[in-house]
Amino acid sequence: MDFELSEDQRAIQQAARDFTNTEMAPHAAQWDAESIFPKEVFGKGGELGFCGLYAAEDAGGLALPRLDATLVFEEMSRVDPSTAAFFTIHNMAAWMVSLWASPAVKAHWGPLLSSGRKLASYCLTEPGAGSDAASLKTRARRDGDHYVINGAKAFISGAGSTDALVVMARTGGDGAKGISAFVVPADTPGIAYARKEDKMGWRSQPTGGISFDDVRVPADHRLGEEGEGFKFAMKGLDGGRINIAACSVGAAQGALDAARAYMGERRQFGRKIGDFQALQFKLADMQIQLTAARQMVRLAASRLDAGHRDATTYCAMAKAFATDAGFCIINDALQLHGGYGYIREYPIERLLRDARVHQILEGTNEIMRVLVSRALLKTNEEIR
């Protein structure tokens, strides 16, 4: 068992760090304050492969392991969890297209998405189907060589600003087995976009609802076979949970770095606040939790890469632990900054706002605990 990163992994990590410091760090606060969706930065990231990290090579992707992808997302999130998170969402959509699209659709959309020249949104959540995604109501009816889609999606990242939508819609009966997946060009007639939500965090990416009114999509834009959509969605969410956990680890690392620097500068009662043991212990606890979260994320990623039978459980555990721990670490970093942590002159308040939603999306952390408990109760074997 080797916990060290390889030379190739360290090179990927350094490339992501350089890109983040050059292209994201100088602008992250402005993107947040002005709710700017920085489409140009995704194009620049795409030139380095960051928009198709684990998409198939024949679709223009790098086909990297999920573990390697977490290194990129963690580095980006040290500075800007909001923009980093959209990189993860786009990567998930590009990966799904690269694996399950028809040859013609894959040939067209694969290279465009993997290069970041075009961006994609992932459309699963509905107004009445959040945690219970298998109950979604959006329907796709077969009509000759097309499907006709009707319904609505909610809380879609990138809504109205992306070029392709990976849409889950019901083609059969109730439940998971009646759901299929489609690649839908975002400008198809009949698609309407609701107003952008005014969010607490993740302000550098638009979030909103999408409605489908008799949207006609060629049949070859279906991913895989009818009824396979929910299976694809769940496979996507396994990786998505690792990705968002990595974003929490990165944001926590950024907050810890800021707190450590601040403790060496700020003076009270004639001493640097880093000289007070109570605060030293607080910093130590933050580092302990961060190290544990990072290792759990990397373990889950390695399980997913290996096709381990309990990979879904590991992904759920990593997501719950890392997003909970990450938020607590950032909150503690804000406390160490005192009043300065609460104002926008320092990055801590933005990291805190961005990281909070990580405990909700890709399945709430309550649902993660449902998944873990089910795995424990359905078998007599240990999870290890």
Q: Tell me which residues are annotated as active site.
A: 362
Which residue do the tokens 């995604």 mark? Answer: 133
CA distance 365 to 83: 22
- Beta strand 207-218 with 164-170 is unpaired
Per residue, what are the HEC states of 17-57?
HHHHHHHHCCCHHHHHHHCCCCHHHHHHHHHCCCCCCCCCH
From residue 142, how far is each of 53, 106, 185, 220, 227 by CA, in Å? 33, 21, 18, 12, 13
8 Å CB contact between 84 and 202: no
Compute the C-alpha angle 9/14/18, nearest 5°: 150
CA distance 20 to 253: 14
Nearest to 196 by CA among 76, 373, 34: 34
Nearest to 101 by CA among 221, 265, 276: 221
Residue 314 CB contacts under 8 Å (≥ 6 apart), including other chains: 299, 300, 303, 304, 308, 383
CA distance 72 to 57: 18
Nearest to 134 by CA among 171, 167, 176: 176
